[in-house]
Amino acid sequence: MTKKFSLVEFSTHRPKLVLMLAGLITLLFFTQFPKIRTDTNPKHMLPETSDVRVWNDRVDKDFALYEDTIVVGVENDVGVLNQETLARIARITDAILALPGVASRDVNGFTTITNVTAEEGTLKVGPLMPAAPKSDADVAALKKALFGNPLFLDRVISKDGKTTAIYVPLEKGANGAEIADKIREIVAREKGPERYYIAGDPVARDTFGAEMFKLMAIFSPIAGGIMFAAIQFMFRNLALSAAMMGVSMVAIIWSMGLLIGVGLPVHIMSSMAPVFLMAIATDSIHIFNEFYFRYREHGDKLAAIRETMAAVSRPVRFTALATAAGFAVLLFMNIIPVKVFGGLIAFGTVVLRLLSFSFIPAVLTFVREDKLAGAAEDAAQDRVARLLGRMAAFGAGRPGLTVAIAAALVAVSVWGTSKIHVNNNLVAWFKAGSEIRVADTAMNRALGGTSLGYVVVESKDADFMKRPEAMRWIEGLQHHLEKLPVVGKTFSVADYVKRINRVLHDDDAKYDVVPDTHDTIGQYLFLFSMSAKPADLDNVVDQGFTKANVWVQMKTWDADAMREVIAATEAYHKANPLPAIVKPAGSAYFNLVWNEEVLGDMVRGLSLALVVVLAILALDFRSLKWALVAYMPLLLTILLIYGVIGITGKDFDMPLSVLSTLSLGMAVDFAIHFVSRFRSRRADAPDGETVEQSLAWTAARPGKGIMRNAILFAAAFSVMMAAPLTPYVAVGAFIVSMMLLSALLTLVLLPALVMLGRRWLVDEPLSTAAPATSH
Amino acid sequence: MKRVLIALLAGLLPLTALALSGEEVMKKSQAAFLYPGKDFKARVVMKLVTKDGQERVREMTMLRKNIGEAGGEQKYFMYFFQPADVKDMTFMTYKYPAKDDDRWMFIPAINMVKRIAAQDKRSSFVGSDFTYEDVSGRDIEDDAHTIEREDKVGGADCYVVKSTPKAGDADFGYKLTWVSKANFLPLKEEQYDRKGAQYKLFTADEIKDVKGFPTVMRRTMKNVQTGHHTEVSYTKADYDLGLEDSLFSERFLRQPPRKWIE
């Protein structure tokens, strides 16, 4: 007789071997951990060949721009224009210039930024403050130069004179975190009343990376610890609690080990994988839950294990399948980190399922019977189980009301969803009191803005930008953009031309305009280039003067701000035709694009996953009707979450889009357990048990597993709400509400739906739908 | 043993006796490179080339007149042909040793002669990789010069002189100059930034005798950190033409005599 190999049988017979094997494989994956690389550069979210990266790289090249710039803010409440502060600024700038990795030639601060002035008939193009002023007269002269030149205002000096900035571009491949640390050391050496702020893209990115690590290393284990305590409280058996945690740890180690082992870096998204896997691992609580009930009924441990596995195997298998398939769909998306994330969770889910049928039964064989006796459960005597039963009874007893409430919630959610506002703000990922936010807020208040975008004007004709009409067009665009509240400062080649025109004419404000002829513009720019730093012109016009680059500094990192700039630019171009292509670029533009792409990918992936999950449900239940019923908690959970986001006005951003996929792993699980167990109960229920009674039983028994699962998780992940990064706080808050919501929907709404569709659902023959459990 | 030592010392003696100091080498080099003849005229084509090969061209006639000895005062006059929109622009420099230069520029579009401050000799010359100092020379006294070693460049024996600025105002930490022993022209120069990393490389690519003066007809300055470089070539070069002093005046800045600029 050929008996099919049963993993459960094997594991209960050779438990030690199974545990040893699991340990060994885990160790193998664990050896990969030291190779871990993190990549927190949002740029790498999109492949190098993506349009936006190719375009931004070209813009960087055409205009000799740097990818990364650290901004050092210096603030003094009595103003920075005094000898002491200026001496400090000079010393600090000098020390920064000597740092390896800093593109010293293009550092812009008081001592290095190019100034164009006319003194006693002599045109002067050179550094604004070559050395710290030695007298008050020198300081006064500097003040006059600063406030007399619009190129400096809001860039290196605030209108109130209390804040200045040093712009520190980095060479390609330089380590921004290291340089930022060294700058912190440099400013710490200065003892004075000044406050210093270190800001900019590389700082935010590297800080985020460091915090991400902290979260993975500290918060995930704390969450795990709380979960452990909660399980211990529920089952009062150390071996079981350890097994439960062991399963999730093993799955996390295998998955992360695989990710690291194949050489992929840990991204912002994949860093959330351990949390996700822990959530999905709690599914095995159903095994313990059922085991305790079974053991209570029979008192035979091995038999209880076998029966438990037989009873829950189908739902456990299908929840794993649904979850894995849901996440695997993400593999077919475009964004690499989205794919990696999907693959990672799908792999982990499969590992979890494998462990459910081997590791867990093996551990159960070691549980001492005397320890079990006290803790084993009886649904009838259990207060929690009774309460859950009553909840289901409410749904079943007043199905019309329940469904009506649900329908009302759906209506509100759909309305809320329509109000969803897609936005993202990298700096807002840090909490309000964090160094980065403080620096960013201070700099944005004082100066033109820390978020930088470009508007590139491209023509086909050489020297096009020297034409007065092109210059005036750019000047007009700047005026137009500066009317936007989010735009703090713009500058372009037109500013240099106007400046030179004015300076050559004895600083007469009348000449602060674009001159009338091409030749004049050409000669002014040539004159400027005779003494300025090459980068001064290179940053705003290309070599052949066919393209110009308008710098747009924004006071917020909201992706919306760049969106407004683009819309305003398009409107201006439409109203003022120019034979040129006008395109946005820069890091602010990139942030807008990658967020939209990642978000789009996640939403598309989720929609597709929802279809796949429905198909799997139909396959599981061999019934589309049941699949639709079991689908409702998932659909409603997602709708409600989106609805709440829309109604509360919280921006729908990348972390939230990632998070909403977690519902794939949770809500559907609950429903599968509920429906599967309900149907098998119907198949072998005691004669005369009504549908309501069966529903109450399901809610009381497997329902307790569902509730345990939900509470367990809500408790553990409430810790995340104390995380230093807002995406993780959102993860914490939403896991908590999502768990409770989907449990509630499953336990109340499902019975109501079953009652309403009773004739349609229950009275059909169940023969092939659910195989009877072995009794 | 003793005899060997004496022989060795004797062998070294004539060399050390004739050896030049680093400063002397640089003085001779400056004289050979920037001061030959009483005056000099060249048609200059300057190509500014970015890392990925985009070019900008400047074309000019350059006139130079020595006022005193090598290392002394000089007057420069430049007339621009290219780019087209700067045609007729002229630029004049009075160069003084140990003192800021005087510079003037004529802007034809607005018919204005403007004095230009020369506060920063290390700034770029017309947007190229050459600084004003690279073009018209740096005061020998500003740096300490030592002969580091001897070397060959393209078969020519050279002194390798290390020049370190005495004051901290220069943007370079030090430079190494390969000075030909034969004609004292700088064949190669490496400039190092204040962090000790090389950032500029000068090479003399073609040398020709013009009226008996070895003249660098083609040269390149490359910024090794940005990948940008500038090629300068003399399409015509001549010495001792008898340039009058009156040529170097505001009047001729506005209307330079055809015969001198063509």
Return the higher-pLDDT residue of A155 and A372: A155
Mutation for B interface: A58, A112, A115, A122, most B CBs within 10 A: A122
Q: Do B23 and B161 meet the contact criterion of CB atoms below 8 Å apart?
A: no
What confidence score (pLDDT) does residue A5 get?
A: 65
> Is A519's CB within 8 Å of B109's CB?
yes
What confidence score (pLDDT) does residue B3 get?
A: 59
Taking alpha carbons only, the member of A673, A737, A633 closest to residue A289 is A673
**Both structure tokens of B146:** 């030592």
**Both structure tokens of B76:** 């420069």
pLDDT band at A472 (very low <50, low <70, confident <90, very high): very high
Backbone angles phi, psi at A247, to 5 degrees: -60, -45
pLDDT band at A775 (very low <50, low <70, confident <90, very high): very low
> Is A527's CB within 8 Å of B110's CB?
no
The chain A residue lying nearest B109, using CA atoms, is: A520
Three-class secondary structure of residue A617 per DSSP: helix
The helix (run of H) or strand (run of E) holding residue B175 is: strand B172-180
Fill in the DSSP letter of residue A42: G
**Both structure tokens of A703:** 């329902």
pLDDT band at A370 (very low <50, low <70, confident <90, very high): low
Residue A379 predicted with pLDDT over 60: no
What confidence score (pLDDT) does residue A83 get?
A: 85
CA A26/CA A302 separation, integer angstroms? 27
Mutation for A interface: B81, B113, B226, most A CBs within 10 A: B226
What confidence score (pLDDT) does residue A411 get?
A: 92
What confidence score (pLDDT) does residue A773 get?
A: 41
Mutation for A interface: B46, B110, B131, B135, most A CBs within 10 A: B110
Mean pLDDT across the stretch B24-28? 86
CA B33/CA A345 separation, integer angstroms? 70
What confidence score (pLDDT) does residue A527 get?
A: 84
Fill in the DSSP letter of residue A243: H
Mean pLDDT across the stretch A243-249? 82
Interior angle at CA A199, CA A196 and CA A202, nearest 5: 140
> Is B105's CB within 8 Å of A527's CB?
yes
pLDDT band at A2 (very low <50, low <70, confident <90, very high): very low
User: C-alpha A129: how far from its chain's center?
Assistant: 43
What confidence score (pLDDT) does residue B5 get?
A: 58
- Tell me the C-alpha to C-alpha distance, in Å, between residue A449 and each of A106, A256, A552: 19, 39, 9
Min Cα–Cα distance to chain A from B3, Å: 53
Query: In DSSP terms, which residues pair with A503 in a beta bridge?
Result: none
What confidence score (pLDDT) does residue B9 get?
A: 52
Residue A410 predicted with pLDDT over 70: yes
Min Cα–Cα distance to chain A from B117, Å: 5
Q: Do A438 and A548 meet the contact criterion of CB atoms below 8 Å apart?
A: no
Q: Convert the pLDDT of each residue in A303-322 to its tens digit.
A: 888 888 888 887 888 888 88
Residues of chain A contacting B51 with CB distance shorter than 8 Å: 61
**Both structure tokens of A450:** 């820390």
pLDDT band at B257 (very low <50, low <70, confident <90, very high): confident
**Both structure tokens of A702:** 């497997």
Alpha helices in A419-517 (DSSP H): 435-446, 468-482, 493-504
Query: In DSSP terms, which residues pair with B192 in a beta bridge?
Result: B174, B198
Query: In DSSP terms, which residues pair with B237 in a beta bridge?
Result: B42
> A-B interface: how many C-beta pairs under 8 angstroms?
115
Residues of chain B contacting A126 with CB distance shorter than 8 Å: 117, 119-120, 123
Mean pLDDT across the stretch B250-262? 81
Q: Is A298 on the interface with B (CB under 8 A)?
A: no
Q: Convert the pLDDT of each residue in A272-296 to its tens digit.
A: 788 778 877 877 777 877 887 788 7
Taking alpha carbons only, the member of B105, B143, B106 closest to residue B122 is B143
- From the list A124, A522, A526, the residue facing B117 with the nearest CB is A124
pLDDT band at A494 (very low <50, low <70, confident <90, very high): very high
Mutation for A interface: B51, B105, B123, B191, most A CBs within 10 A: B123
Q: Do B238 and B40 meet the contact criterion of CB atoms below 8 Å apart?
A: yes
The chain A residue lying nearest B128, using CA atoms, is: A534
Fill in the DSSP letter of residue A266: B
Min Cα–Cα distance to chain A from B196, Å: 9
CATH class of the domain defined by B21-261: mainly beta
> Is B89's CB within 8 Å of A526's CB?
yes
> What is the DSSP track for A716-764?
HHGGGGG-SBHHHHHHHHHHHHHHHHHHHIIIIIHHHHHHHTHHHHTSS
User: Which residues of chain B approach chain A closer than 8 Å at the C-beta?
Assistant: 48, 50-52, 54-56, 80, 83-86, 89, 91, 105, 107-110, 112, 114-117, 119-120, 123-127, 171, 193-195, 197, 199, 225-226, 228
CA A474/CA A468 separation, integer angstroms? 10
**pLDDT mean across residues, chain A:** 82
**Domain-wise residue ranges, chain B:** 21-261
Q: Convert the pLDDT of each residue in B92-105 to its tens digit.
A: 988 888 788 888 88
What confidence score (pLDDT) does residue B231 get?
A: 93
Return the higher-pLDDT residue of B3 and A325: A325
Mean pLDDT across the stretch B248-253? 85
- From the list B114, B123, B126, the residue facing A126 with the nearest CB is B123
What confidence score (pLDDT) does residue A384 get?
A: 74
pLDDT band at B82 (very low <50, low <70, confident <90, very high): confident
User: C-alpha A80: how far from its chain's center?
Assistant: 38
**Both structure tokens of A319:** 């929840």
Min Cα–Cα distance to chain A from B2, Å: 51
Q: Do B189 and B160 meet the contact criterion of CB atoms below 8 Å apart?
A: no
Residue type, A344: L
> Is A123's CB within 8 Å of B105's CB?
yes
Neighbours of B114 (CB within 10 A): 17
Sign of the alpha-carbon dihedral angle for A158, A164, A169, A175: negative
Residue B55 predicted with pLDDT over 80: yes
Residues of chain A contacting B114 with CB distance shorter than 8 Å: 121-123, 504, 527
pLDDT band at B120 (very low <50, low <70, confident <90, very high): low
Q: Convert the pLDDT of each residue in A577-597 to its tens digit.
A: 888 889 999 888 988 888 788
**Both structure tokens of A240:** 């079981």
Q: Do A247 and A352 meet the contact criterion of CB atoms below 8 Å apart?
A: yes
- Of A298-312, A428-442, A684-698, B33-47, which one has max mean pLDDT? B33-47
The chain B residue lying nearest A543, using CA atoms, is: B56
CA A731/CA A735 separation, integer angstroms? 6
Min Cα–Cα distance to chain B from A208, Å: 30
Q: Convert the pLDDT of each residue in B189-223 to its tens digit.
A: 999 888 788 889 999 899 898 888 899 999 999 98
Residues of chain A contacting B55 with CB distance shorter than 8 Å: 543
**Both structure tokens of A237:** 């058996």
Taking alpha carbons only, the member of A231, A245, A354, A225 closest to residue A292 is A231
Residue A502 predicted with pLDDT over 80: yes
Q: Do A158 and A447 meet the contact criterion of CB atoms below 8 Å apart?
A: yes
Q: Is A130 on the interface with B (CB under 8 A)?
A: yes
Peptide bond into A265 cis (omega under 30): no
What confidence score (pLDDT) does residue A371 get?
A: 64
CA A484/CA A421 separation, integer angstroms? 20
Mutation for B interface: A172, A531, A537, A545, most B CBs within 10 A: A531
Mean pLDDT across the stretch A81-95? 87
- Tell me the C-alpha to C-alpha distance, in Å, between residue A210 and each of A38, A46, A203, A213, A725: 9, 21, 11, 5, 11
Neighbours of B193 (CB within 10 A): 18
**Both structure tokens of A125:** 């193009």
Edge-to-edge strand list for the sheet holding A195-199? A163-169, A69-75, A195-199
User: C-alpha B75: how far from its chain's center?
Assistant: 14
Taking alpha carbons only, the member of B168, B166, B162, B159 closest to residue B141 is B166
Residue B136 predicted with pLDDT over 80: no
**pLDDT mean across residues, chain B:** 83
Three-class secondary structure of residue A402 per DSSP: helix
- Give burial (CB, 10 Å; 0-12/13-18/19+) of A39: middle
Q: Is A6 on the interface with B (CB under 8 A)?
A: no
Residue A703 predicted with pLDDT over 80: yes
Min Cα–Cα distance to chain B from A533, Å: 6
> Is B120's CB within 8 Å of A130's CB?
yes
The chain A residue lying nearest B47, using CA atoms, is: A543
Which ipTM value was assigned to this complex?
Answer: 0.84
The helix (run of H) or strand (run of E) holding residue A50 is: none
Q: Is A126 on the interface with B (CB under 8 A)?
A: yes
> Is A527's CB within 8 Å of B225's CB?
no
Residues of chain B contacting A542 with CB distance shorter than 8 Å: 54
Taking alpha carbons only, the member of B59, B64, B61 closest to residue B45 is B59
Q: Which of residues 556-585 of A touch B (CB under 8 A)?
A: none
